[in-house]
Structure 1
Amino acid sequence: MVKKSSQLPSTSEQILERSTKGATFLMMGQLFTKVVTFILNNLLIRFLSPRIFGITAFLEFIQGTVLFFSRDAIRLSTLRISDSGNGILDDDDEEEYQETHYKSRVLQTAVNFAHIPFWIGFPLSIGLIAWQYRNINAYFITLPFFTWSIFLIWLSIIVELLSEPFFIVNQFMLNYAARSRFESIAVTTGCIVNFIVVYAVQQSRYPMEIVTSDIDKEGIAILAFALGKLAHSITLLVCYYWDYLRNFKPKKLFSTRLTKIKVHENNELKKGYSKNTSYFFQNDILQHFKKVYFQLCFKHLLTEGDKLIINSLCTVEEQGIYALLSNYGSLLTRLLFAPIEESLRLFLARLLSSHNPKNLKLSIGVLVNLTRFYIYLSLMIIVFGPANSSFLLQFLIGSKWSTTSVLDTIRVYCFYIPFLSLNGIFEAFFQSVATGDQILKHSYFMMVFSGIFLLNSWVLIEKLKLSIEGLILSNIINMVLRILYCGVFLNKFHRELFTDSSFFFNFKDFKTVIIAGSTICLVDWWFIGYVKNLQQFFVNVLFAMGLLALILVKERQTIQSFMNKRALSNSKDV
C-alpha cells in the first residue's frame, strides 16, 4: 500500500481538504521560521547599522530576483499537468487514477519541467550579479570579504535551484507538511549561521589581525549574511534529497534525470502527438509556461519594483529603514496572507485542471469566503494599525534606529497591507483559471501598470520629496490598479457561472461592521490618538475585541457551517 504522503489527491474534496490543511501547515511553518528570524534579527539589529541592513536587503533582492525568474513560472505551470485528460475524478475512479499516474507520466513530466529553472537560473545569475557588481556603491566593494560574499550568494542560488525537482514533486502532490518542515529547518539553520558569525566578531573572538576596525566588522557582517543564505540552500537540498531517498526512490515513482515520456494512445493523440513517439515536455504545459513567464516578468517588476526604486532614489540608510519596514510591517502578510494565497493557488490549479462546472462553483465559493475574511481583517488593520504600530515597534528596535523615521513611516505602511493582501488572492485566482491568451493580455496591462508605478514613484520621491512614504503611496496606487483589473475578470467569470449575478453582490452586507469600525476609529483618535503607553494600548485591545466579537456574531452561520463540514470530514476519516 502506498503511504498517504506519496499519494496524489484525486477528488475535489480531497484537494480542498489537503489545501485547507496545507494552509495551516504553511502558516505554522511561517510562524516558526519568523519567530526564529524575529528573535535573531532583533539581536542583530543591536549589533548592526541601517547601512548593513540596506546592503543585505539588496543582496537578498538579487537572490530573490534570480530565483523568481528561474522557477516561479514553472511552479505555476506544472500544477496544470493532467495525464488523464479528464481532470478531477470521482471516488470510484480514484484507485484506477492512482495506478495510472504512478506507473506512467505525471510525476516524470513534472520533474522534466523542474530542470528548466536551473537552465534559466545559471546564466541569469551570472549576468545579473556581474551587472549589479559593476553598479554597486564603491564603499561596499572596498569592504573586506565583499567579493567572497557575492560569490557565496551566487553559489546559494545554484544550490537552491538543484532542489527544484524535489520541490515540484511535493508541490504537485500537495505534500505541505514535508515542505513546511524542510523550509523551517533550512531557514533556522541559515539564521543561526548568520547570527553566530556576527556575534563572534562583535565579541572579538577573531584574531585582531583579521578584525581591526568597524569596516572589517561590516565586511564580515555581510559575509555572515551570505554564509547564512548558503547554509539555508544546502540544508534545503539535503532535506529534500533525504526525503527522495526515503519515500520516492524505493518505489521508482520518477527519475531525477531528464527522461523521455512515451505517448499515451488514449490521451496525447488527442493533443496532437503522433503515435509511437515520445517527448520531454508536455506541449500544452510548455506553451502555457511561455505565456505565464512573460506575465510574471512584469508582475515581479511591480511586486519588487519598490526595491529597484529605493536602490536608485534613496540613500543606503533609507534602504535599511525600508528593509526593516518590510520585515516588520508585512509580518502579518507573510505569516497569514502569503500561506493562504499560495494554498489557494495550488488548490485552484489542481481543482481546475479541467473546467468542470461543479469545481468552478466550488472555487468561487472558496474565493468569496476568503475575500470576506480578508475584508474583515483589513478593516481591523486600518482601524488599529496606524495608532498602535509605532508603539509596538519601538520595543523591538535598538538605539541605532531611534533617530530614524521608521516609527512614523510604519503608520503609513499599515494602509498598504490590506491592498497587498487582497491583490494576492485575486491574482492567485486569475492565474489559476485564466487561459494563456488572457494571461498574455494581462501582461500588456502589467506593462502599463509598471510605467504608472515608475512615474508615480519618481514624482512622489524625487519631486515631492516624500521619501519612503512616497514609495508606499506608489505601491498602494499600483495595487489598486491590479485589484481593479482582476476584479473585472472575476466579476465576468462569476456572471458566466451564476447567470448574470455579480461577484461583488456577495459583499453588500458589510454596512454594520464598517459603521462600527468607523465609530471605534473616530472615538479612539479623539480620546487617545497615537498610543504612547500600555494603558492606552490596553484600551485599544478592548476596542479590537469588541469589533471582533461583532464580526463573529455577524458571521456565526458561516462559521457554524464550516465547523459542521470539518466535523463530518473527521468522522469519515475515523
Structure 2
Amino acid sequence: MVSESPARHDDDRLLTRSLGSARSLIGLQLVSRLVTFVLNQGLIRLVSPQAYGTAAVQFELLMSTILFLSREGVRNSLLRIWPQQTNVDQPASAVSVAQCANLAALPFFLGLPTTFVTVVLYAFSASETTTSQPHFHLALLIYATAAVGELLSEPMHNRAMGEVRTDARVKAEGLGIIVKTIITYLILLYDDNRRHLGELALIAFALGQLAYSATVFWTYKPQFPESSLWPISLPEQHQTPRSVIYPSAADAETQSNRKNSWSRLVANFFDPDALHLSMTMTSQSIVKHFLTEGDKFLVSYWSPLQHQGGYAIAVNYGSLVARIVFQPIEEMCRVYFSKALSGPMSQKNSATARTSGNSAALSQASGSLASLLSIQIAFSMLVVTFGSSYLPIVLQLLLPAQYISTSAPKVLSAWIWYIPVLALNGGLEAFYSSVATPQDLRAQSRWMLAFSVIYVLSATALYNIGFGDTSLVYANIANLTARIWYTATFIVIYFGKRMRSHQLTLANVVPGWKFSGIVALSFLAISRNKARHHLAEEVERLGRRALFSTLVLGHVAFGAGLGLVCVGLWWITEGKRLVARERIKAE
C-alpha cells in the first residue's frame, strides 16, 4: 500500500478544517439571522419607511464603504500568507507571525482618514429631507465611531481567520448581531411607547451598530490577548525577507526600489511583497465596492426616502439566503483556496505546478469547485421555480401594511432571479481572489471599469423605461453575469496551464436531464394549478387572511410535495455521485 504524502495529508486536513469552518459560519448565520429576523419583524413595525431607508440604505452604505475600503485588501492577502502550524514540533516562524500581525493592524490606520473623508462627503451631499430627520447628525457621528470601533477588532479577526479559529469568530459576530438587534429594538420600543413620533429612530439604529462594534471587540479580546494594534519592529536580519507569496516574482527593479529609505522603513515592519499585494487589492476594492453596493448608491440618489425603506427591507429579506448560506461558503472558499493554492502554485509556470504535492492540491481544488458549482446550480433552479411561484403568498406574512405600497414586493420578486447569479459569482470570485497575482488583479481592475459601465447603463436604461427600483436588481444581474464570465474564463485557463485534465467540465457542473426535467414539469404544474384556481386574485383580495384560505393552503402543500420530489431525485441522480467523488479523492 502506498503511503500518503505529507502534502496530500495537509491538503485533506485543510479541506476538512475549511468545511468545518463553513458549517460553523452557516450555523452562526442561521441562528443569528433567525433571532434577528424575529426581532426585525417587530422592529420594522415600529419605524417608518423613511427612517428605515436612511438607516438601512444610507447609513449602512456609509459603514460598508469605510470598512470595505479599509480592510478588504488586507484581509484577502493575509489569507494567503498567514503561517500554518501543521506540526507541533515545527511551530510557525515568529517573524512570519509578526509580519502578518503588523499587516493585520493596518486597516485601523487606513480607516481613520477613510472615515473622515467619507463622513464629510456624505454629510454635505445628503438631501435636506434626510438631514432634517431628528438627531440625524448625532446618529451620523455614532455610525462613524462604530466604524472606527469595528476596525479596532481587525487584528484579532485576521488572526482568527489566519489560524482558522472559526469558533472565536462565531462567538464574537454571533453575539454582536444579537446584541445589535436587541438594542435597536428596545430603543424603538421605548420611543414608540413614549411619543409615537419616531424621534429616536435613527439614534436606535446608530446605537445598535455601536453596540455591535463594542461587543465584537470585547468578545475577541479575551481570546486573543496577545493581539496588538501597534506594529512591532522586526529583527534586523529579517527586515528584507523573500516574498512568502511569490518567491520568483522579485525582479531587479523591485530590489532596487527597496534600497531607498521608504522601502527600508516598510521592511522594518512588513514583508514588502505582502504589503504590495494588500495595497493592490485595496485599490481594486474601490471599483469592486461600487459594483457590490452600486444599488444603494443609485437608490439613494433616485428614490424618495419612503421607497428607499421599501427597497431596503426587500433586499434585507432577499439577501437572507445569501447571508446565511452563500457568504459563509464564499469565506470558506477564500480560506481553503488561499492556503491550498498559494505560493509557487500561483505562478504561471506549469512545470513547477506539476509536482506531486501541487498536483494533488490542484486536483482536489478543481473537484471541490466543480462540486460546489453543481450544488449551487441545482439549488438555484429550485429557488427560481418555487420562489417565483410562492413569493406573493409569503409577502402577505412578511411585509407590514405600510411597506406593501412601497417598491418592496416588486424588488423581492426580482431578487428571486438575482439569487442564482449571486451564488455562482461568490464561489468563482473567492477562487479568483485566492490565486490571482498582482498582474491578474490589475487586469481585473480594468475589466471592473467595463463592468461598472454595464451596470450603470443597464440600471439607467431600465429605470427610464419604467422598471423603478427593480432596475437596480436586474442591472446587478447583468453586471454579475459579466463578472461570472470573466472569472470562469480565468479559472479554466488557470487549471488548463497546470493540469492535463481537470474536473471543471459541463458534465460535472450542470445537473442532468432527469433533475432538470422534473424541475421544469414542477414549474408547469404549479403555474397551471395557480391559474386554474385564480390564486393570484384570491391572495390580492384576502391579503393576510389568504394564509388561512383552503385553496391557498392546498396550493402550498402541492408545491411542498413537488419540492420534496425534486430534492429526492437530485439526491438519487446527482447527490450520491458528488459524495462518491469526494470519497474517492479522500482514499
Q: Shorter-chain TM-score category?
A: 0.7 to 0.9
Distance 2:189 2:239 in 1: 62
Change (3 A) 1:118 1:527: same
Distance 2:581 2:193 in 1: 54
Distance 1:71 1:338 in 2: 17
Distance 1:509 1:414 in 2: 20
Given residue 361 of structure 1, which amino acid in structure 2 is its aligned partner?
A: S
Tell me if 1:230 matches 2:203.
no
- CA deviation string 1:167-191 (max 9, x = no partner): 1111100111110111011111111
Given residue 164 of structure 1, which amino acid in structure 2 is its aligned partner?
A: E
Q: Tell me the CA shift for residue 379 of structure 1.
A: 0.6
* Matching residue of 2:233: 260
Distance 2:560 2:553 in 1: 10
- CA deviation string 1:394-427 (max 9, x = no partner): 2122221233343343222100110011101011
Distance 1:500 1:339 in 2: 29
For residue 334 of structure 2, the aligned residue among 330, 345, 366 is 345
SS of alignment partner, residue 29 of structure 2: helix
> Any conservation in 2 of the 1:186–1:235 contact (CA below 8 Å)?
yes
Output aligned runs, 1:92-107, within 5 Å. 94-97=87-90, 99-101=91-93, 104-107=94-97
Change (3 A) 1:124 1:75: same
With normalisation by structure 2, the TM-score equals 0.85
Given residue 49 of structure 1, which amino acid in structure 2 is its aligned partner?
A: S
Q: Tell me the CA shift for residue 14 of structure 1.
A: 2.1
Change (3 A) 1:519 1:203: same
For residue 536 of structure 1, the aligned residue among 551, 555, 561 is 555
Change (3 A) 1:156 1:82: closer
- CA deviation string 1:54-76 (max 9, x = no partner): 10111111011100100011000
> Any conservation in 1 of the 2:315–2:412 contact (CA below 8 Å)?
no
> Any conservation in 2 of the 1:348–1:432 contact (CA below 8 Å)?
yes
* Matching residue of 2:305: 316
* Matching residue of 1:207: none
Output aligned runs, 1:22-33, within 5 Å. 22-33=21-32
> Any conservation in 1 of the 2:139–2:202 contact (CA below 8 Å)?
yes
Distance 2:211 2:510 in 1: 50
Distance 2:92 2:501 in 1: 40
- CA deviation string 1:337-379 (max 9, x = no partner): 1100111111111112221232122111111110011011001
SS of alignment partner, residue 394 of structure 2: helix
> Any conservation in 2 of the 1:74–1:114 contact (CA below 8 Å)?
yes
Q: Tell me the CA shift for residue 311 of structure 1.
A: 0.9
Tell me if 1:445 matches 2:447.
yes
> Any conservation in 2 of the 1:155–1:230 contact (CA below 8 Å)?
yes
Distance 1:149 1:509 in 2: 49
Given residue 393 of structure 1, which amino acid in structure 2 is its aligned partner?
A: L
> Any conservation in 1 of the 2:112–2:148 contact (CA below 8 Å)?
yes
Distance 1:118 1:459 in 2: 39
Q: Tell me the CA shift for residue 559 of structure 1.
A: 5.1
> Any conservation in 2 of the 1:23–1:340 contact (CA below 8 Å)?
yes
Count the aligned residue pairs: 531
Distance 1:256 1:132 in 2: 28
* Matching residue of 1:427: 429
* Matching residue of 1:196: 186
Q: Tell me the CA shift for residue 501 of structure 1.
A: 5.8
* Matching residue of 1:6: none
Identity of aligned residues (%): 26
> Any conservation in 2 of the 1:152–1:227 contact (CA below 8 Å)?
yes
Q: Tell me the CA shift for residue 392 of structure 1.
A: 1.4
Output aligned runs, 1:32-47, within 5 Å. 32-47=31-46
* Matching residue of 2:65: 65
> Any conservation in 2 of the 1:361–1:497 contact (CA below 8 Å)?
no
For residue 112 of structure 2, the aligned residue among 107, 119, 122 is 122
* Matching residue of 1:465: 466
Tell me if 1:78 matches 2:78.
yes
* Matching residue of 1:485: 486
Distance 1:483 1:223 in 2: 40
Distance 1:175 1:405 in 2: 41
Q: Tell me the CA shift for residue 105 of structure 1.
A: 2.0
SS of alignment partner, residue 231 of structure 2: coil
For residue 140 of structure 1, the aligned residue among 123, 130, 149 is 130
For residue 279 of structure 1, the aligned residue among 268, 277, 285 is 268
Distance 1:398 1:242 in 2: 41
> Any conservation in 2 of the 1:33–1:187 contact (CA below 8 Å)?
yes
Distance 1:77 1:317 in 2: 40
Output aligned runs, 1:370-385, within 5 Å. 370-385=372-387
Question: Which blocks of at least 5 consecutive residues in structure 2 are unaligned?
Answer: 1-7, 346-357, 540-551
- CA deviation string 1:474-529 (max 9, x = no partner): 11111110001011111212322342668333235522222221121112112225
> Any conservation in 2 of the 1:325–1:406 contact (CA below 8 Å)?
yes
* Matching residue of 2:572: 553
Question: Which blocks of at least 5 consecutive residues in structure 1 are unaligned?
Answer: 1-8, 205-210, 570-574
* Matching residue of 1:3: none
Given residue 574 of structure 2, which amino acid in structure 1 is its aligned partner?
A: E
* Matching residue of 2:420: 418
Q: Tell me the CA shift for residue 557 of structure 1.
A: 3.3
